[in-house]
Structure 1
Amino acid sequence: MPDTPGWGPQGPRTGPGHDGPGHGTARYGAPPYGAGAPYPPPYGWGQQGPWGPPPPPPPKPGVIPLAPLGVDHVLGGAFATMRRYAKPLFGAALAAYALYAVVLGAALGIAYAVARDHYAALSADGAEFTWEHGKPVLVAFGAVWAAGLVGALAVNSFVQASAAATLHEAVLGRPTTFRAVTRRAWSRTPAVAAVTLPLALILLLPLALFALFFVAVFVTVLTDATAPLGLLFLLFLLVIPLSAWLYVLFAFAPAATVLESAGPLTALRRSVHLVRGAWWRTFGISLLAGAMVMIVSLVYQLPMQFAAPEPPVVTPDTSASEVMLDQLRSQTGLYVVAALLGTLLTQLAAAVFLPLVTALLYVDRRIRKEGLAQALRSAAE
């Protein structure tokens, strides 16, 4: 990837209309279709008269036209990027997830080796749980769980950064390599992680209230205690729209950290600025992209569910070890390989497709609000 400036305030500034930061489209040069018009006038009724020729189509050096994007341009641009830049895009994501799996597996092995004696004492026949043996096991595997969460945040942030870094070249129609994408993505991963963490917490808030509500229901049923079920359910209903509003409001922050080389706080402010006035459009297209990913996943998973081997027959005389061995035998072979491979491919495609859609929506908002098309056209030329 060539060392070109980003698309932020330090990005390419062209045209005589540059006034410095904070002057709308002026700092990115003149709008692509004349002053004050981010897109061409309707055909037949422009300045050339009702029978004049149609305006020329906007240039398209890469995967999208350099003009305000429709839904078809956003989704089509994401698919075109995945097709034309498959090697650097999927290569970076696959390498990141493979490294994460190896590190997490090694951490689980170390945790088991450290707490093996305590685990054996707890799992022996007739053994009872004691803190003498339970505490080391919980601490060891709790540390692995916490490290896994941190690793998942880092890997997902890297994948988002690699998608935005690839799109940086795809919009301009320039080639890139696996090495260039990984280098650019790795340098922006800490900033992307810093803005991804609050987004993850926003999504976890309604899930936490939902889990707390069901825990309160079980406690009420089992202990005859009184729990504020109505209050918890009301909070859950109120938090859902609040979380959706905040998530969409900050959705462009990961793309801004890569494409503008912005810091975390600056990226969050930029996202709020760009989403303002287009919240429902951003929400609708993002929801459509998520529904497409879910449908593709179901199309693969439902036939696999019907093709799953029948579970072994269990009788009262069957020991627990025999049940476990039968389960392991039934979950080996071609079915498991196909299921794991399909799950890996669908998850990998989802991890790349959704950030691409969000980054293209970010580009669309900057074209509409800040005249980015002219700067992109100059950079492409």
Structure 2
Amino acid sequence: MSPGPYGPAGDASPAAAPTPGAGGWTPPPKPGLIPLRPLEFGTVLGASFQVLRRNPRPTFGAALLLNALVVFLSTGITTVIVVSGIDRASRASFADSETIIVGTLALTLVATLLAVGISIVAQALLQGVISLEVSRATLGEKLTLRQLLDRGRGRWWPLIGWTALVGVAVVIAFSVLAGISIGFFALGDPLAIAGGVIVLIVGVLGLIVVSVWISTMLAFVPAGIMIERLPILTAVRRSWGLVRGAFWRILGTLLLVSVMVNVAASVVTTPFQFAATFAAPLVNPAGQLETDLTLFLVLNVIVIAITAVVGAIGAVLTTSAASLLYIDRRMRTEGLDLELQRFVEVRASGAAADDPYRRAP
């Protein structure tokens, strides 16, 4: 591919550091979220935050709605079931209390499985919406949530399937490791128990390393499914090819964004979590059960609300960063920046133009 205004493909620096106006050179256009050129780290980070401000309804609004639904189901309903079960068991006879406890555990399990299923669907929907929003915002378009959902029509089930597949793979991996470790522990021999501990520690560390590597190599699968409308297996190969050669840059960027999000979330939610745990003895020194339960529920509702807000912001930032890195890699390896510039120019002339993201590399 011939070098463009930014040098050979894969090089983000100008070929000869020209100045505006010299030899007719002009800076690359910035019709929307980012300038149409390979992106630096600061641009990726800043644009990830700008996604929240630029079009908040389909980004933060959708993330908050979906995250609140997941948090409510996973925490709120489970909390209500447990608290209600404890209250009923404390009032019942000994024989009935056992039945109530068993029923409470069964309901808790059902609520947890329901929450997991809805969490998978919500995560997939959010990834799809944010990926599409970033791709269109790069071209200066500002779509509503309904328009984004319509643009992703036909791709939601593949994305949900991919998200579920990832979740199942993680569960299977840790289940196999836990099963091997339990097998050692069941032998009861001190040497076998020591071996089980070693297998567990080494296995967990190994799974963490492998999961970080694989998740980075497959970080662009949602973007491939939604933006390029690829089948799952093709999107997997696409992501693997794009990440190869830039693994550490992509991992570092995604890891830094994730750390920032988690630290901010901990700073905001930790005080309320401590309050929910330790405020009861201070507010209710007499230890009345009804008062304790009421206080516990109120504080947990506050924690759930704050967790939903912080989680929504974090989800938008992390998905936006991955989508921006996907666009950046295509700019560096395929000259996508030139295709995007051409699309903007054709659109400005009033003519129809094909989707630049779906052109063959």
User: What is the TM-score of this pair, normalised by structure 1?
Assistant: 0.72
CA contact (8 A) 2:7 2:15 kept: no
Question: C-alpha distance in 2, partners of 1:121/1:298?
Answer: 34
Question: C-alpha distance in 1, partners of 2:90/2:28?
Answer: 69
Question: C-alpha distance in 2, partners of 1:66/1:53?
Answer: 20
Structure 2 counterpart of 1:355, from 307, 316, 319: 319
Aligned to 2:339: 375
Does 2:48 correspond to 1:83?
Answer: no
Within-5 A mapping of 1:249-328? 249-304=217-272, 310-312=279-281, 323-328=288-293
Aligned to 1:243: 211
**Matched residue of 2:94: which SS?**
coil
State the 1:342 CA deviation: 2.4
Amino acid at match of 1:169: R
Question: C-alpha distance in 2, partners of 1:43/1:75?
Answer: 24
Aligned to 2:201: 233
Amino acid at match of 1:311: A
Give 5+ residue unaligned stretches, structure 1: 1-24, 47-51
Question: Deviations for 1:40-65, whole angstroms, at most 9, x for unmatched residues?
Answer: 31326x9xxxxx67953221111111
**Matched residue of 1:312: which SS?**
helix
* Higher helix residue share: 2
Amino acid at match of 1:84: R
Does 2:335 correspond to 1:366?
Answer: no
Question: Deviations for 1:335-369, whole angstroms, at most 9, x for unmatched residues?
Answer: 66654432221011112111111011101110001
**Once structures 1 and 2 are overlaid, which stretch shifts more, 188-197 or 148-157?**
188-197
> 1:344–1:54: structure 2 CA closer, same or farther, 3 Å change rule?
farther
**Once structures 1 and 2 are overlaid, which stretch shifts more, 249-258 or 30-39?**
30-39
Question: C-alpha distance in 1, partners of 2:28/2:161?
Answer: 36
Aligned to 2:148: 181
CA contact (8 A) 2:159 2:225 kept: yes
Amino acid at match of 2:234: T
Aligned to 1:195: 162
Question: Deviations for 1:124-148, whole angstroms, at most 9, x for unmatched residues?
Answer: 4222898x98887666554443232
Percent of aligned positions that are identical: 29
Amino acid at match of 1:79: F
Question: C-alpha distance in 1, partners of 2:311/2:339?
Answer: 35
Question: C-alpha distance in 1, partners of 2:63/2:171?
Answer: 24
State the 1:182 CA deviation: 2.8
Question: C-alpha distance in 1, partners of 2:92/2:274?
Answer: 37
**Once structures 1 and 2 are overlaid, which stretch shifts more, 203-212 or 251-260?**
203-212
Aligned to 1:330: 295
Structure 2 counterpart of 1:41, from 6, 11, 15: 15
Question: Deviations for 1:163-186, whole angstroms, at most 9, x for unmatched residues?
Answer: 011112111011211211233346
CA contact (8 A) 1:195 1:268 kept: no
Aligned to 2:28: 58
CA-based RMSD: 4.2
**Matched residue of 2:51: which SS?**
helix
CA contact (8 A) 1:169 1:175 kept: yes
User: What is the TM-score of this pair, normalised by structure 2?
Assistant: 0.76
Give 5+ residue unaligned stretches, structure 2: 346-361
> 1:167–1:313: structure 2 CA closer, same or farther, 3 Å change rule?
closer
Structure 2 counterpart of 1:345, from 297, 304, 309: 309
Question: C-alpha distance in 1, partners of 2:300/2:117?
Answer: 28
Instruction: Say how many residue pairs are matched.
Output: 335
State the 1:196 CA deviation: 2.1
Amino acid at match of 2:268: Y
Question: C-alpha distance in 2, partners of 1:239/1:306?
Answer: 31
Question: C-alpha distance in 2, partners of 1:105/1:234?
Answer: 32
Question: Deviations for 1:42-95, whole angstroms, at most 9, x for unmatched residues?
Answer: 326x9xxxxx67953221111111111111111111111111110121232334
CA contact (8 A) 1:311 1:330 kept: yes
Question: Deviations for 1:297-325, whole angstroms, at most 9, x for unmatched residues?
Answer: 1231344457667322699xx8xxx6542
Aligned to 1:17: none
> 1:244–1:201: structure 2 CA closer, same or farther, 3 Å change rule?
farther
**Once structures 1 and 2 are overlaid, which stretch shifts more, 342-351 or 362-371?**
342-351
Question: Deviations for 1:261-284, whole angstroms, at most 9, x for unmatched residues?
Answer: 111111111000100001111100
> 1:245–1:101: structure 2 CA closer, same or farther, 3 Å change rule?
closer
> 1:102–1:332: structure 2 CA closer, same or farther, 3 Å change rule?
closer
Question: C-alpha distance in 2, partners of 1:305/1:155?
Answer: 25
